[in-house]
Amino acid sequence: MAAAASMMPNFGQQISSKNDLVPDWTRQEVSTGTTIMAVEYDGGVVIGADSRTTTGAYIANRVTDKLTPIHDRIFCCRSGSAADTQAIADVVAYQLGFHSIELDEPPLVETAANLFRASCYRYREELMAGILVAGWDRRKGGQVYCVPIGGMLVRQPVSVGGSGSTYIYGFMDSNYKPGLSKDQCLELTAAALSLAMERDGSSGGVVRLASISEEGVERRVILGNQLPKFSTH
């Protein structure tokens, strides 16, 4: 291989690696190419995610949990690089836990979102992380904050993220109305995620849902064969 590389012109491919015969995906970074969604309702939020983690074309984990607790009533939905988002979530969970103990009261969702934004913006060149922060607090009830790649922060009543989100913007815009109930939000999220998982190769597996309110956090999993079906074949 070394002889060949010097004879032929460089095609811009990576002929450089001596370990060329180790499959490509063993050298790729682990990514949560994904679909995540968060919806506010009166009294809380509903969050959902698919469960696929990929290294290149290989699925490293088909039952990933991308809904990560940051505090008792605050979760984040992770998309982008698995390592980056796990590291940031750990850092923010620590910072928020410390802050909450200092204040001696449950932290605000806006605080958590700002902590994410601070890390994501400061290290924007090094990180690849798109995060939805969602939760419930006493001051403003259910809130969804979107912290995409680059470190913007904006509150939205409903937000989607990840590689599969592009396929469901239309579905979301046409089917979301303000004033939905919790169960309607759960149905909407499950349907949107199923549609995205159907079309996006980097999303798949099971649908993980969680609803966060004053009462607490309810988690559920919808397996592949139980997903809502849409007829397009």
Partner 1 sequence: MMQSLEPQAGGFNFNNCSRNSVLESGLSELGFKPPTARKTGTTIAGVVYKDGVILGADTRATDDMVVADKNCMKIHYIAPKIYCCGAGVAADAEITTQIMASNVELHMLNTGRPPLVAMVTRQLKQMLFRYQGHVGSSLIVGGVDVTGPHLYSVYPHGSYDKLPFLTMGSGAAAAVSVFEDRFKPKMELEEAKQLVRDAIAAGIFCDLGSGSNVDLCVITEGGVDFLRGYDKPTEKGQRGGQYRYKPGTTPVLTKTVTPLTLDVVDESVQTMEST
Give the residues lining the site for partner 1 (CB under 8 A). Answer: 1, 3-4, 7-8, 11, 13, 15, 18-24, 26, 29-31, 33, 53-58, 60-61, 63-64, 81-84, 86-87, 124-128, 149, 163, 201-202
In the chain, the amino acid numbered 98 is F
Residue with tokens 């396929």: 167
| 57, amino acid identity | A
CA torsion sign for 210, 70, 37, 83 is negative
Q: Judged by CB, which is closer to partner 1: 137, or 200?
A: 200
Q: What values do phi and psi take at 137, rounded to 5?
A: -140, 170
- Tokens 């460089």 sit on residue: 10
- The minimum distance between CB 122 and partner 1, in angstroms, equals 14
With left for phi above 0 and alpha for psi between -120 and 50, is residue 198 left, alpha or beta?
A: alpha
Which residue, among 52, 71, 23, has the nearest Cα to 162 in the 3D structure?
52
* Nearest CB to partner 1, comparing residues 106 and 148: 148
User: Which residue number, 57 or 154, has a Cβ lying nearer to partner 1?
Assistant: 57
Smallest gap, in angstroms, from Cβ of residue 163 to partner 1? 6
1 within 8 A of 15, measured Cβ to Cβ: yes
The pair of structure tokens assigned to 87 is 């590291």
Q: Which is nearer to partner 1, 23 or 216 (CB)?
A: 23
Q: Shortest gap between Cβ of 142 and partner 1 (angstroms)?
A: 29
CB of 125 to partner 1, least distance (A): 5
Whichever of 100 and 202 has its CB closer to partner 1, that residue is 202
List Cα–Cα distances, 206 to 63, 102, 193, 209, in angstroms: 7, 38, 10, 10
Known catalytic residues? Answer: 34
Q: How far apart are CA 215 and CA 122, in angstroms?
A: 35
User: What residues contact residue 162 under an 8 Å CB cut-off, 6+ apart?
Assistant: 32, 33, 34, 35, 36, 49, 50, 79, 80, 130, 203
Least distance between partner 1 and beta carbon 181 (Å): 34
